[in-house]
Amino acid sequence: MDDSKIILASASPRRREILSAHALDFETVPSGADELAEAGSPRELSLENAVLKASSVARGIPNRIVLGADTVVALDGVVYGKPRDAADAFSILSKLSGRTHSVFTGVALARFDGAGLKVLKDAEESKVTFKALDADAINSYLNLVDVSDKAGAYAAQECGSAIIERIDGDFENVMGLPFALVKKLLDRFVSGL
């Protein structure tokens, strides 16, 4: 491994795509950390899971900066993660139909120096308004996009215009990694080393 590269603690193709698009030099080491299902607010949940992912990889690869991220969709205080199956995906999209929900992505940077773990974290929130969707529109979307690994059972970057009316905030956050926040945290993290 190249010690100058950061490590992305995720197997997400969307996160890899975003980092590559911004020409950030990185390697991928997916985290095997067990994610929390609840932890206070949706924002706190995304942060705690991001820290779990980053720190679990950092402990195994000392002296490297590890980036962990976790995205959750929340509506009326209920968190919608990845759907369990097709019926769950349909149910989630039905609940989001015609409503505005929040997308939180927690971002954590971690570095283990052999003695201790340094962690820096923050979260980004974007608001997404869905079109009013009937059963046919939902089924049509689910036939077009594999949502099995997507928080909230949708992907804004994949046929998103079929279901999304408006996004207020960072589009990359809705995709799963707000690069502007990552860059800000990296600058702070590196300057503090």
Q: Which residues are the active-site residues?
A: 70
Question: What whole-number distance in Å separates Cα of residue 21 and Cα of residue 118?
Answer: 27
- Spatial neighbors of 87 by CB under 8 A, at least 6 apart, are none
Pick from 117, 119, 105, 111: which is nearest to 180 by CA?
Answer: 105
76 vs 35, 123, 152, 153, CA distance in Å?
22, 19, 13, 17
Measured CA distances, 25 to 98, 152, 185 (Å) = 39, 29, 16
The CA distance from 14 to 47, in Å, is 19
Q: What's the distance, CA 34 to chain centroid?
A: 15
Pair of tokens at residue 108:
């954590």
Rounded Cα distance between 137 and 78, Å, is: 23
